[in-house]
Amino acid sequence: MPRWLLFAALALPLSAQNPVTDALRSSYNRMRLNLVESAQAVPEADFAFRLTPAQRPFGEWLSHTAMSAYTACASMKGNPAPPEAAATHNLEGKAAISKAIEDSFHYCDSVLNEMTDARLAAEVQVGDRKLYPACLLYTSRCV
């Protein structure tokens, strides 16, 4: 292997401007793909499926995930959830629920496209708490 190619390959990760944000985006994109494809693949009749009687049905779980995505991504910017988040409650039918999950991720895409490592590390006010944007995408229990 030519030395210049080896040095170029080793230097590539060093040239990343926002390595933490890039890693978060990569993880988010996998999660996004899995959820959108799940909504598309599951038949309409199975949107009422409950793993156990105490759990939400699959369709309601997707609706809740859409609401959570809107809320988390708005919070990453220090904003309240947009009106679309409330509109995800009580959705019925595969088409409406699938659209809601896709729309919530389009909203998050716009937030993550503007994100940098510096912004991920800067506290934002969420209600009465100050949180870091990086953990908002994965948990509501950030400290």
pLDDT tens digits for 21-67? 999 899 999 999 999 999 999 999 999 999 999 999 999 999 999 99
Whether the full predicted model's pTM is greater than 0.85, yes or no, is no
How many CB atoms are closer than 10 A to CB 58? 19
CA 4 to chain centre: 38
Structural domains of the chain, ranges and CATH numbers in brackets = 17-136 (1.20.120.450)
pLDDT tens digits for 54-113? 999 999 999 999 999 999 999 898 899 999 999 999 899 999 999 999 999 999 999 999
Q: How many CA atoms, within 13 angstroms, populate the side-chain half-sphere of residue 55?
A: 11
Q: Which helix (H) or strand (E) holds 36?
A: helix 19-41
